[in-house]
Amino acid sequence: MKKNMGFQDKLIRIIIAAIVGVLYYLGIISGTLGIVMLVLAGIFVLTSFVSFCPLYTLFGISTCKVKN
């Protein structure tokens, strides 16, 4: 897997995942929607840690800085 996520992209994904986790914990989102949001938050965290997003590969996107 070739890295295709930059630092800002990873940071935004982790912040979104943290917000979803807090909203679920506080009971603001719950039920099926809450579980779906938690799964997506988990995917965001996982892709942030490995610096690879499979959807970016499909669409040819890369937010990684190019090294000279």
- Residues 28-50 have pLDDT tens digits of 999 999 999 999 999 999 999 99
At 66, is the pLDDT very low, low, confident or very high (cuts 50, 70, 90)? low
Instruction: Check residue 15 and give its pLDDT.
Output: 96
Question: How far are the Cα atoms of 3, 40, 63 from residue 28, in angstroms, in the given order?
Answer: 34, 17, 32
At 2, is the pLDDT very low, low, confident or very high (cuts 50, 70, 90)? confident
Instruction: Check residue 67 and give its pLDDT.
Output: 65
